[in-house]
Amino acid sequence: MIEVKNISKTYQMGKVQVKALSDVSLKIDSGEFVAIMGASGSGKSTLMHILGLLDRPDSGSFYLGDIEITKLSDIELADLRNRLIGFVFQQFHLLPRMSALENAELPLVYAGKRHLKDRAMRELEEVGLKDRVRHRPNEMSGGQQQRVAIARSLVNDPLIILADEPTGNLDSKSKEEIIGVLQKLNQKGKTVVIVTHEKEIAAYCRRVIQMRDGAIISDIRSQEGSKISEVSSIEDTLVSGILSKKHSASGGTKFFDYLRQAVFAMLSHKMRSILSILGILIGVTSVIAMLALGQGAKDAIEKQLSSLGSNLLIVMPGSPKVHGVALETGAFTRFTFNDASAIAKLGDEVNRVYAAVTGRGQLVYKDENWNTQVDGVGVNYPKMRNAEPAVGRFFTEEEVKLRSKVVVIGTTVARELFGEENPVGQTIKINLLNFKVIGILPPKGASTFRDQDDVVVIPVTTAMYRVFGKQYIDYIFVEAKDPASVESAQDSITQLIIKVHRLKKDEEDTFQIRNMADIRKTLESTTKTMSMLLGVIAAISLLVGGIGIMNIMLVSVTERTREIGLRKAIGATNKDIMVQFLIEAMLMSFLGGLCGILLGWGVATLITIFAGWSVKVSSFSVILATSFSLAVGVIFGLWPAQKASRLDPIEALRYE
């Protein structure tokens, strides 16, 4: 069944080489009950590790049936350990956070047989632990813990049981019980190999192999036990394990098993896990809140710009310099209604035009008075400035021609003068002139510089000739056909004004055209920069949380070194170990990210309520924060996971 030929093994201990095995040859037949004895350092444990496929010899050959094991890959060896060999250790190596049943089920995870978990219950009943299956290792005696380890070794129905000092930590009564269990397994056809230094334990075995200084010095059979021909069975199992993957667990099944193990690990170290999650939570909260603040600022600016109108150009007199001295605005080039009419005729590029003047006015209604901005505008004002009256109407072209004393007031003016009273139809005084209120402008809110609702609008002709006594208009507002026409419209208007006013080359600074698109771009660029800055600051806190997870996972790898060794001994591959630790890191990041999203949403809401700032949580920020938190889990969990997967199973099992 097992044959090793001239195997040798040397370990490098610092600068010293230690020869653990020297030219060892051995055959073990199916159904044998073998004890390997020797003093400490004799090489018996090294031989056990090679027989258990946990280590490879430096030289020589090793056969299971007719298959040479030394030529197999690590993944194939892990598969064989899982399906052919059951390990029983002196230190039991039970996972403290799991019950007896869960410990016994563990090999099924790596065999893809989790659906056969009833086997674990059956094996625990066979070793006399039916009433202890829900108990954890710290709730059981040493003998009971060793029985759990034996049950664990049997769940995959292995052909070979390897027991390394299985009674070394037990009292006399427990020793007899464990040896009795191993004898029964041998009687059922299992090949049992025990490593021990106790003669009374070896006396139960039918074959005793003595070792000294890495070599076999004696091999005594007390009786010829019945041999069960298992060679063909072993070959079949080997071939099926190496050439097919039908016994391998599916990705989905393994994922949920790993997820379950990750939850167990986190619950067993609650405070440490909470602190790790807290780092990610704070980072994600910062990302959500900061991006929401930036998005809110952007939306507020968009709202303010939309209140000014779309595709808007403002033509106004400039402040020219004569001999290096800046003159008053409008001192050289002054605009009239003829200029507005000429611009309106640029039909291919211009949609609407209106002339405007502005000034301050004292408003009086009964015993209330208010000083506000008075704008004289044309009939195109509502459509160009998104200012259709919310109540009442706007003045007509006829009223502009007749210089009618009608007024449309802003919501702030309506509140200050009329309170809860309906202003429409009432008469107010503007600079001592009576005006009839015909409408109320829609609310537009306050900008950084002024309240956009603290204004009244009257016909431009009325403002010029009756209220302010102006002969020239202050502004000409022009609406381009579409955003693509803004630049060409600006150029056409510039050429038109130069031509109409016969301006020379050095006089072109006597007027200016402001493009709202430029203002929009500037403000959007500013808010974008601010959002990026806030996002980077928040991302730094998320990065710090990721480093915290990496530290915690590195500590976890160190603490769980023996567990990693156990998992490899029962069939886990390097990939299995790496994926399990990676899932644990990602789970902490995901939980931190999920809680961070909720908290970030709450913080954004509180900012709106208490600070009055415009804040908006976007789906993009939620997706970004979630993706980033998971990426943090992968990136910062990868190194600890790789470190765990590369641990040598033998060194891991010996770790204290």
In three-state form (DSSP H/G/I as H, E/B as E, the rest C), the secondary structure along 534-576 is HHHHHHHHHHHHHHHHHHHHHHHHHHCHHHHHHHHHCCCCHHH
CB 421 within 8 A of CB 435: no
CA torsion 566-567-569-572 (nearest 10°) is -170
pLDDT of 229: 46
pLDDT of 242: 46
Give 347: exposed, middle or buried? Use CB within 10 Å, 0-12, 13-18, 19+.
Answer: exposed
CA–CA dist 613, 617 (Å, integer): 13
CB atoms closer than 10 angstroms to residue 344: 17
DSSP character string of 458-522: EEHHHIIIIII--SSBSEEEEEESSGGGHHHHHHHHHHHHHHHTT--GGGGGGEEEEEHHHHHHH
Amino acid at the residue 393? R
CA–CA dist 510, 497 (Å, integer): 10
CA–CA dist 650, 87 (Å, integer): 13
Domain boundaries, the chain: 2-248, 264-302+522-654, 334-502
pLDDT of 310: 59
Strand order in the sheet with 67-68: 16-28, 2-13, 59-64, 67-68
What's domain 2-248's architecture? Answer: 3-Layer(aba) Sandwich (3.40)
Distance of CA 385 to the CA centre of its chain: 44
Give 522: exposed, middle or buried? Use CB within 10 Å, 0-12, 13-18, 19+.
Answer: exposed
pLDDT, tens only, 221-230? 875 544 444 4
Radius of gyration of the chain (CA): 44
Token pair 């667990």 is at which residue? 249
- Residue 335 per-residue DSSP state: B
Output the pTM of the full model: 0.63
CB 476 within 8 A of CB 315: yes
Low-confidence ranges of the chain (pLDDT < 70): 114-115, 223-254, 301-310, 319-332, 446-449, 506-509, 516-520, 523-524, 611-612, 656
Burial 49-75 (b: 16+ CB within 10 A, else e): bbbbbbbebeebebbbbebebeebeee
CA–CA dist 271, 277 (Å, integer): 10
pLDDT of 222: 77
Q: Give the strand pairing for 455-459 and 368-377.
A: parallel
Classify 274 as helix, strand or coil.
helix
Token pair 């219950």 is at which residue? 121
